[in-house]
Structure 1
Amino acid sequence: MAKSHVVIVSYPMQGHVIPLMEFARRLTNEGIKVTFVNTEAIHKVVTSNLEEKEGDLLHMASISDGLESPEDRKDFRKTLKAMVEIMPGKLEELVEKISEEDRSKVTCIVADSFMGWVIGVAKKMGIGSAAYCPSSATTQAILMCAQKWIDDGLMNSDETRLIIVGIPQNNDMIQLCETMPPTKPSILPWMSVPGVDPGLLFQFSKVAAEECTLADWILCNSSYELEPPIYNEFPQLLPVGPLLAGTQKDAKQTGQFWQEDSTCLTWLNQQPTSSIIYIAFGSIATFTQTQFEHLALGLETSNRPFMWVVRKNENCTFPDGYVERVGPRGKIVTWAPQQKVLAHSSVACFISHCGWNSSLEGVTNGLPFLCWPFISDQFLDAAVICDTWKTGLGFDKDEEGVVTKDEIRRKIDELLGDKVFKDMALELKEKVTCSIRPGGSSYRNLCGFIDWVQGKESR
């Protein structure tokens, strides 16, 4: 029987569930029992897509978010209110129930760093706590600096709400630390989420980050090699990654919201080495019909083979005769086993929305990027890829805000025509994969956390 029991609570989004599920798997591999907690709505989706039971040590559980309909869950303000007013009590009830019914004591509660209120529940119950950051350490550090930026006059803080709190006072570049390049205010995580009040998102993110600083550990799905200036300036952030299913032999990625189309792997097996452009934009990015057509035609006129993930809920249509024209050169799927795709020898580059999970998956497979961010921290991640790692290029939009078919074709040719991008990607891959091998920095940090959970002396 497991001596230690960890409760992990995820934010209810695809890009959060997957990395936290992989973290849970690493704990169960060490004999730690894990109860993984989603909201009831997300729990139903995740468990329905589990191909097989994850083992006796991983138990999936859910708590109510107090919301009555899917439409309510699309309302960010209602979701935040439920998290603050309803979910803490529900989580406390669940932990008490576990203590009554399970003989293994809850040793630690791990909060998704966007669910900082979970740390307060752990403190109230006298249980050890950790925050786990599914985004980059750069994003977490920026959120941790929010109050300082207000104090320094870089962000407004009009509590009367006459001015939206958290909006930069001007367009001057913001520098997180001296060893990092300056950041455009427009790409701060709370400034670019369509349909969400940036002031509301700023306040939520700021409070969550402050709550995470009260945890015993702040763990990041990253490595020293990926973001060295951040870890030098913010030593309380501890990298333990990249934790990806693809870095473990025969491991399957879990936590998917959609069924994967594994037939695409057979198609990849028939393609030449380093020939395929892989295109995927995560679980929530959307296109206008005009932009969708430009992307389709840009891929077609590149005259290169490609695999494109087009979700079932993407409400755009292909140009007339498109599928017939691209024929066997273009493989279009509704959802792909992405880590296996990116690890395939036939893939040459990754056109990505630059979510942190996808960024890590590309890095660990030594792939160069074409960056197409849509919301939130994706713009920061794209900047890191292009300006810091120098393993990718961004797209330029025309005067109407469209990435044209000619721009897409041009950037594909530039990226794949310059060997430097691939060389830089392979160099970064080697550094990062070393960090998670036995003896590597992320490996040692993860072992230290596991030992703490199990109450052992440090290795």
Structure 2
Amino acid sequence: MSIPSVLVFPFPCQGHVNPMLTLSQKLVENGCKVIFVNTDFNHKRVVSSMVDQYNEESPLKLVSIPDGLGPNDDRNNLGKLCDSMLITVPEALKKLIEDNNNIHLKGDNRIRFIVADVHVGWILNVACELGIKGALFWPAAAALFHLVSSVPKLVDDGIIDSDGSILTSKRTIQLSPSMPEMDTRTLFWFHMARHMGGSHYLNFLVHHCFPALNLTQWWLCDTAYELEPQVLTLVPSLLPIGPLLRSDHYYKTNATLRSLGQFWEEDLSCMSWLDEQADGSVLYVAFGSFTLFDQNQFNELALGLDLTNRPFLWVIREDNKMAYPHEFQGHKGKIVNWAPQQKVLSHPAIACFVTHCGWNSTMEGLSNGVPLLCWPYFGDQPYNKTHICDELKVGLGIDKDQNGVVSRGELKTKVEQLFNDESIKCRCVVLKEKVMKNIAKGGTSYENLQRFVKEIKE
């Protein structure tokens, strides 16, 4: 039987690359070859973070194409990045596929299927042009997929205007009677403004990305039925295949192996440090690849960790420009630039996760039964916080004061509250068991992935 080659293309942000690389590893485990396409800029970062561990002969091959921006352009300006990619990527991708398929006129290495992040869904037009089948992958909550696909109706019903601004005095909107109401303050496009004009982002999704749903019937999502039953019942075409986690054997047989696809090199010394801590004693503090604090907020966070008087593992990216406050002791903690997060969260020493509520972090926390202290930054994170705290009831929100700052006292109070809340801990364990059943043989997510693999192989 021939081995099909699949091209996988994520949006060029860490939170999009991670789940799509894990999906790629699942495809390889199920007998596919994968050509994983990063932008040139991110490809260099990914390969350098691997510390000579990347194998060119692997059935998972890393390649790259230009994003159209100059070497000194700011890739955190997502509006500029999206506009540039729309112009540059289609031709570059078409050339990559044609060059590959011309070299391999027959056999396994011809690209026969494309999996695109919905945020670059427009590349399925290239797939159609070349007669290649495609699928779309949504790396966030299913509820937000449904929200974006409902935008034309929300505009028609006079609830929002075409820029996404709320036209009603109501504080909540409801997409369906079977779904919980959504706080209009958590509509994710309002929280994108600092990286991309809010309306620009919404219009980009609605006009360039979501029309690609008409080009394929395969819509995949990194979620599990128990996490979002109402919306997955409402949108049966959206197939949950999550939680997308690196395989157990991958970690158990490779204790020193770094996770593929990271933009920063993982500091594995934190694992031996965790081994020295008591079970259920450590605060894990990590805010993802985008969050940046000002000096005042950074000080409050550092001094708040001291105030808790508990051991902590704190991830501070190397692009952090803030100085530690002079009163900061930090003697109970370990600070690293980047951590192997899935390994960390599965460690018995971890008691709770202080998180920005990115969807990958949320899924990894829930999959390991770790209570979440929610401190959202932008994008979909305020919605995820509400879902974690109000619907799933497996975490607590951290509140800002009248100046928009999370005080050291607030952090200490919420840490103590979470450590002492047995009902949250119990719900975390129950939810973990339910969620993990999905990816075991016979589970919904497992079976959906098997159906998808069968489609690729046919």
TM-score range, shorter chain: over 0.9
1-side partners of 2:455 and 2:78: how far apart?
36
Instruction: Report deviation, 1:179.
Output: 2.5
> Is the CA contact (8 Å cut-off) linking 2:34 and 2:60 kept in structure 1?
yes
For residues 193-217 of structure 1, give each alpha carbon's deviation from its aligned partner in whole angstroms, at most 9, with x where no partner exists.
Answer: 2142111011012231232343230
1:352 to 350, 355, 362: 355
The residue that corresponds to 2:225 in the other structure is 224
The residue that corresponds to 1:131 in the other structure is 136
Alpha-carbon spacing, 1:13–1:70, altered in 2? closer, same or farther (3 Å): farther
The residue that corresponds to 2:11 in the other structure is 11
| Unaligned residue ranges in structure 2 (runs of 5+) | none
2:317 to 277, 299, 311: 311
Instruction: Report deviation, 1:340.
Output: 0.8
1:77 to 68, 74, 79: 79
- 215-224 or 63-72: bigger deviation: 63-72
For residues 121-158 of structure 1, give each alpha carbon's deviation from its aligned partner in whole angstroms, at most 9, with x where no partner exists.
Answer: 1122221110011112122111111111111111113x
Which amino acid is 1:223 matched to?
A
Q: SS state of the match for residue 206, structure 1?
A: helix
1:284 to 285, 290, 293: 290
The residue that corresponds to 2:152 in the other structure is 147
> Is the CA contact (8 Å cut-off) linking 1:2 and 1:31 kept in structure 2?
no
> Is the CA contact (8 Å cut-off) linking 1:397 and 1:404 kept in structure 2?
yes
Q: SS state of the match for residue 267, structure 2?
A: coil
Q: TM-score, normalised by structure 2?
A: 0.94
2-side partners of 1:332 and 1:77: how far apart?
32
Which amino acid is 2:326 matched to?
D
The residue that corresponds to 1:188 in the other structure is 187
Q: How does 1:53-64 map to 2 (within 5 A)?
A: 53=54, 56-64=58-66
The residue that corresponds to 2:371 in the other structure is 368
1:106 matches 2:108 = no
Which amino acid is 2:265 matched to?
Q
Instruction: Report deviation, 1:186.
Output: 2.0
The residue that corresponds to 1:204 in the other structure is 204
- 264-273 or 252-261: bigger deviation: 252-261
2-side partners of 1:140 and 1:404: how far apart?
34
The residue that corresponds to 1:178 in the other structure is 177
1:239 matches 2:240 = yes
Which amino acid is 1:254 matched to?
L
Q: How does 1:247-326 map to 2 (within 5 A)?
A: 247-250=248-251, 253-322=259-328, 325-326=329-330
2-side partners of 1:403 and 1:267: how far apart?
28
Alpha-carbon spacing, 1:2–1:29, altered in 2? closer, same or farther (3 Å): farther
The residue that corresponds to 2:32 in the other structure is 32
Alpha-carbon spacing, 1:331–1:75, altered in 2? closer, same or farther (3 Å): closer
Instruction: Report deviation, 1:246.
Output: 5.4
Which amino acid is 1:416 matched to?
F
1-side partners of 2:422 and 2:247: how far apart?
25
> Is the CA contact (8 Å cut-off) linking 2:79 and 2:195 kept in structure 1?
no
> Is the CA contact (8 Å cut-off) linking 2:49 and 2:266 kept in structure 1?
no
2-side partners of 1:2 and 1:321: how far apart?
63
Equivalent residues, number? 445
For residues 21-53 of structure 1, give each alpha carbon's deviation from its aligned partner in whole angstroms, at most 9, with x where no partner exists.
Answer: 111111111221111111111111112222523
Q: SS state of the match for residue 24, structure 2?
A: helix
Q: Which runs of 4+ in 1 moved over 4 A?
A: 246-249
Instruction: Report deviation, 1:170.
Output: 3.4
For residues 353-396 of structure 1, give each alpha carbon's deviation from its aligned partner in whole angstroms, at most 9, with x where no partner exists.
Answer: 01111011101110100000101011111111111110001011
Q: SS state of the match for residue 202, structure 2?
A: helix
1-side partners of 2:130 and 2:396: how far apart?
48
Q: SS state of the match for residue 205, structure 2?
A: helix
Instruction: Report deviation, 1:75.
Output: 3.5
> Is the CA contact (8 Å cut-off) linking 2:267 and 2:340 kept in structure 1?
yes
2-side partners of 1:264 and 1:374: how far apart?
25
1:405 to 408, 429, 433: 408
Instruction: Report deviation, 1:318.
Output: 1.3
Instruction: Report deviation, 1:326.
Output: 3.1
> Is the CA contact (8 Å cut-off) linking 2:9 and 2:38 kept in structure 1?
yes
Q: SS state of the match for residue 192, structure 1?
A: helix
- 241-250 or 2-11: bigger deviation: 241-250
Q: How does 1:417-436 map to 2 (within 5 A)?
A: 417-436=420-439
Q: TM-score, normalised by structure 1?
A: 0.94
For residues 251-281 of structure 1, give each alpha carbon's deviation from its aligned partner in whole angstroms, at most 9, with x where no partner exists.
Answer: 7631100011111111111111100011000
Q: SS state of the match for residue 220, structure 2?
A: strand
Which amino acid is 1:153 matched to?
G
2-side partners of 1:295 and 1:198: how far apart?
28
> Is the CA contact (8 Å cut-off) linking 1:276 and 1:304 kept in structure 2?
yes
Which amino acid is 2:353 matched to?
F
Instruction: Report deviation, 1:79.
Output: 1.8
2-side partners of 1:145 and 1:224: how far apart?
20
Q: SS state of the match for residue 441, structure 2?
A: coil
> Is the CA contact (8 Å cut-off) linking 1:140 and 1:209 kept in structure 2?
no
The residue that corresponds to 2:338 in the other structure is 335
Which amino acid is 1:45 matched to?
R
2-side partners of 1:401 and 1:127: how far apart?
49
> Is the CA contact (8 Å cut-off) linking 1:31 and 1:57 kept in structure 2?
no
2:167 to 163, 166, 169: 169
Structural RMSD (CA): 1.6
The residue that corresponds to 1:120 in the other structure is 125
| Unaligned residue ranges in structure 1 (runs of 5+) | 158-164
